[in-house]
Structure 1
Amino acid sequence: MSNPITSEILPESLLEHRAVKAWRGLRLGLGEPASIEILKKSHKKRAIYRLAGVGLQGAAVIAKRCQMTTGLIERTIYEQVLPHLPVTAPHYYGFAEEDDTFCWLFLEDVGRERFSPLVEEHRLLAARWLGRMHTAAAHGATAARLPDRGPAHYLEHLRSARRTILRNLTNPALDTDDVAVLKTIVSQCDALEAGWHELEKCCESMPSTLVHSDFRAKNVYVRTDQAGTALFPIDWETAGWGVPAADLAHSRRRYLGHHVDLITYLDIVRECWPSIDMSALQLLVRVGFVFRRLAGINWTSRSLASEWTEEPIACMRVYQAELSEKMQAAPWAR
């Protein structure tokens, strides 16, 4: 999973590293690391390490440090949900609290090959994996243990993004063109909210189920071994319970039509959901695209208070253009 970076100085004794201390706290008796690779380091927040040789049969283990709020969601998924579903998943070693704010998750290292929507085999794998997960999880008693990820969740993303954008329009780091883009996004949010009931209707044809909510290349790995080629989604921080719209929608404009093989997905889910047809599925994908963009706008808007706005504004320009394209033919935005 991921490639190493070198922005952190490791202690002379690896046993003194915080990831190793947390790993040893699990008391699994699986040994000490031969080396540590830094895969991701975010100041005071997330950090991901590869601990070489400490897993089963000497395999590497991924140690992920994250905030407790999202770590508990992932813990629920790995401990209580995925083991009961007919899908592939990384081996889960355990969970450790660091303090009241941060925790650690320890998972099997499933390799370095990422899912690519541009590869047909990967799109077929994604369709089968998601189809099996969505239909199997819909019958389980998991809803009460997971946060809501239905239309109401994304409506809150919309409202939060709009509030944040309006609050930061007077940032002197923004020029006239930047402000115009942001005001256009606010208008798009107004139009979407006005037609939100229509968007909700588009979701009524699909049952609620477990959703990953951030199913994209950086969060999905592909591994080929003697058993064949298999998919391994990771990073369940935004997972929850809702219609599978966001899981089916592509994350980038260049992947238009190249995310999940919908024909294969439909063949699988129809066994449990016979009323679903391709037109309903395609409509759900369009809704999912809007959901994903609203979440992206909300996350990006939090950087607008900074004096360095070039990167968030560049993202906002893309989001604005993509929403405009989708809303032109959308019944919920007329």
Structure 2
Amino acid sequence: MTEPKAIRSDHIAEHPAFRAWARVHGSQAAPTKIEVLKQTKRKTMVCRLSGSGTEMENVIAKRSFRHYIGVERIIYAEILPSLSVTSLRYYGSTEDDDPNYEWLFIEDANGRAYTSRLKAHRIAAGRWLGILHTSSASHVDMLSRLPERGPRHYLEALRFARQRIERSLNLELELEDLDSLQMIISDFDRLEGQWSELLEFCDKLPLSLVHGDFKERNIRIRAAAHDRGVPILVAFDWAEAGRGVPPVDILGRFGHGVSRSSEPDIYTYWSVARKLWTLPSMETMKRFETVGKTFRAISAFAW
């Protein structure tokens, strides 16, 4: 991971993150330090504003496309505070100088990095997701304002990814690479041919708020706070979130490195969710992981 880039103190007032923060909270709430945590060629940016929070805590300033910030604003400001899950404090949002972008301000998700190698973390993830999905399902009006993230969304993503791969076949590639791409296209064709079965399975499930990118890198464990011995979990980066079915967030081992799955404990998830939902047997619950892996794989190719 790239080391954060600290902005010189005499340049803070000129930094776009501070200018955006000042539009919401005034120049008196100036941070003691600004660190650029992430910056891309597409002009998206994530910064840490030290000491800018209500209780002098750090604040994360995120610049992204208007659509993504719009989704996260609804979730942080309206949905999460009304649910029974732990969540990050929302500090507002504002337009960027570029009309294609906006800024979002949230509490810094300090704490330990989440790792699926620890059973206690996987149990915490299963419990947190169980509460998220069951407590959000009744918020129909709020969910209707979010993007659709069910099987129909992933079928569109599959078709988009396949078209992009098919265009790559016209490039000058090695024979081995062409064979690999042809195999992926064949897999997508076979998967689309079986999509009615997946749709039938998902249509029997309740709709809820889904994170959509519930990976290790988007989770922190609040080590200092425990509820009955279970670590407290917070999740961030809700840009891919929406209204969908639980398998979107429930999947086992998938990926590696920064893209590694959170591998939530499905037994814990089931024990929490079945209190409010009529859930199928554990054998059927295990299909959640298979469907979740399918959705995640499609997203990876469509990105």
Normalising by structure 2, report the TM-score.
0.91
Deviation at 1:188, TM superposition (A): 0.5
Deviation at 1:100, TM superposition (A): 2.0
Q: Write out aligned runs for 1:199-210 (5 A).
A: 199-210=198-209
Unmatched tracts of structure 2, length 5 or more? none
Structure-1 residue corresponding to 2:263? 259
Partner residue of 2:276 out of 272, 284, 291: 272
Decide whether aligned partners of structure 1 residues 79 and 156 sit closer, same or farther in structure 2, where only a CA change above 3 A counts: same
Distance in 1 (alpha carbons) for counterparts of 2:146 and 2:261: 30
Distance in 1 (alpha carbons) for counterparts of 2:260 and 2:27: 47
Structure-2 residue corresponding to 1:311? none
Structure-1 residue corresponding to 2:145? 145
Q: What count of residue pairs does the alignment treat as equivalent?
A: 296
Paired letter, 1:245: P
Structure-2 residue corresponding to 1:230? 232
Distance in 2 (alpha carbons) for counterparts of 1:234 and 1:27: 22
Distance in 1 (alpha carbons) for counterparts of 2:260 and 2:238: 24
Deviations 1:13-50 (A, max 9, x none): 21111000000110267621111111101123321111
Unmatched tracts of structure 1, length 5 or more? 300-334
Deviation at 1:208, TM superposition (A): 1.1
Contact kept in structure 2, 1:202 and 1:284, CA below 8 Å? no
Structure-2 residue corresponding to 1:69? 67
Percent identity between the two aligned chains: 36
Partner residue of 1:284 out of 280, 288, 297: 288
Normalising by structure 1, report the TM-score.
0.83
Deviation at 1:287, TM superposition (A): 0.8
Decide whether aligned partners of structure 1 residues 218 and 168 sit closer, same or farther in structure 2, where only a CA change above 3 A counts: same
Q: Write out aligned runs for 1:1-334 (5 A).
A: 4-6=3-5, 12-27=10-25, 31-98=29-96, 99-141=98-140, 142-172=142-172, 174-226=173-225, 229-250=231-252, 252-253=254-255, 259-299=263-303
Q: Please, what is the CA RMSD of the aligned residues? A: 2.2
Contact kept in structure 1, 2:216 and 2:261, CA below 8 Å? no
Q: After TM superposition, what 4+ stretches of structure 1 lie above 6 angstroms from structure 2?
A: 254-258
Deviation at 1:113, TM superposition (A): 2.1
Distance in 2 (alpha carbons) for counterparts of 1:285 and 1:161: 22
Deviation at 1:249, TM superposition (A): 1.1
Decide whether aligned partners of structure 1 residues 143 and 153 sit closer, same or farther in structure 2, where only a CA change above 3 A counts: same
More displaced 10-residue stretch of structure 1: 202-211 or 260-269: 202-211
